[in-house]
Amino acid sequence: MSTATLTIDLTALADNWRALDRKTQCETGAVVKADGYGLGAAQVGKTLAKAGARKFFVAQAEEGLALRDALGPGPEINVFSGHMAGDAEVIRGAALTPMINSTDQLLRQMEALPGHPFGIQLDSGMNRLGMEPAEWAALRDIVLAQRPTLVMSHLACSDAPEHPTNAAQLKCFQDMTHGIDAPRSLSATGGILLGADYHFDVTRPGIGLYGGRPFKDARPVVTLDIPVIQTRELAAGECVGYGDSWTAQGPTVVATVSGGYADGLLRAIGKTPGRAGFYHEGQRLPILGRVSMDLITVDVTALSEVPDTLRLIGEAQGVDDLADWADTIGYEILTSLSARYARYYQG
């Protein structure tokens, strides 16, 4: 079989949620947008619900509908994009809670779904989603009279603890929500790690659940094993791959594995010679030449016997290592992992 195997450790996922929950004295939700960060929202959601999560967050109403089908009635499913035109039927039918971002969305919600639960998203300085301070000041009394389920904002720089924007956003959020009796939420994974001042009533961990930075104590959730299709022996001076981008300096055994940028293994991970690699039984094996659409070449000279598969993601290196090689972030690596992989859930 030439299909790579993506193994998702649901026990590790649940353990990461519990570890983040223990860092606060408030309720801990879970962000499962983008199909559970690429790992399957149904499986991820059910695992986290069993662990104790009762508030879930998705990006779009359609994601909320799919998650409701998986979770059934009970857990609260919040939609970051709010109430978009055409969403009313889905919001009502799936019992979703839109996070209202603007005056237009508030009017749409009140006209189409009077009495239906909703939350509010405030812009505390990220300038992305949410009501700005002046807009919120004009609508605050009207909104609070409707008893929103949650008032939230989002931190722009929480992965950099010393960044001054964190304190500025905290103060802005405190000022905008002073005196309200609705539950408040400011922090995702990075905000949880900033400390109790940022926790409020609900936290919304995302990337930390899936084993990514900035949660350094996270258990790895993803393992990716890629089959070896062919091996060959190169003499000094022979080249590998497109553009002859790597040249053997001496006798080299090369394995070609069945994965590439069509599988979410970004072409950029191979751009710096010697930086990226696979693993087998603790032995690091450098990637040679360019990552192509379906194939990657690997130096396996150090192995006495070439195995059937080589490991790219696992205990020895995680999604953030791949991200570093490609000058991106672990979020992009996770959400790019291919539908071609054979997926196995354990735990």
Assign a CATH topology to domain 10-210.
Answer: TIM Barrel (3.20.20)
Residue of 50, 171, 242, 344 marked catalytic: 242
Dihedral, CA of residue 83, residue 86, residue 92 and residue 97, to nearest 10: -20
Q: What is the pLDDT of residue 272?
A: 75
- CA distance linking residue 271 with residue 328, whole number of Å: 13
Cα distance between residue 100 and residue 77, in whole Å: 14
Pinpoint the residues of the chain covered by CATH 3.20.20.10: 10-210
Predicted pLDDT of residue 293? 96
Q: Which of 33, 37, 331, 341 does the annotation list as catalytic?
A: 33
Distance CA 227, CA 300 (A): 13
Structure tokens at 103: 């005056």
> Among this protein's residues, is 242 annotated catalytic?
yes
pLDDT for residue 157: 97
pLDDT at position 76: 98
User: Mean pLDDT, consecutive 10-residue segments, the chain of 347 residues?
Assistant: 92 98 98 97 98 98 98 98 98 98 97 97 97 96 95 97 97 97 97 98 98 96 98 96 92 97 93 87 95 96 96 95 94 92 95
CATH 2.40.37.10 residue spans of the chain: 222-346
Contacts of 103 (CB under 8 A, 6+ apart): 131, 135, 139
Q: Which CATH architecture has domain 222-346?
A: Beta Barrel (2.40)
- CA proximity to 8, closest of 330, 344, 279: 344
**What does the pLDDT read at residue 339?**
86
Distance CA 93, CA 113 (A): 11
Please tell me the predicted confidence (pLDDT) of residue 81.
98
What CA–CA distance (Å, rounded) separates 119 from 98? 6
For residue 2, the model assigns a pLDDT of 78
**pLDDT for res 52:** 98
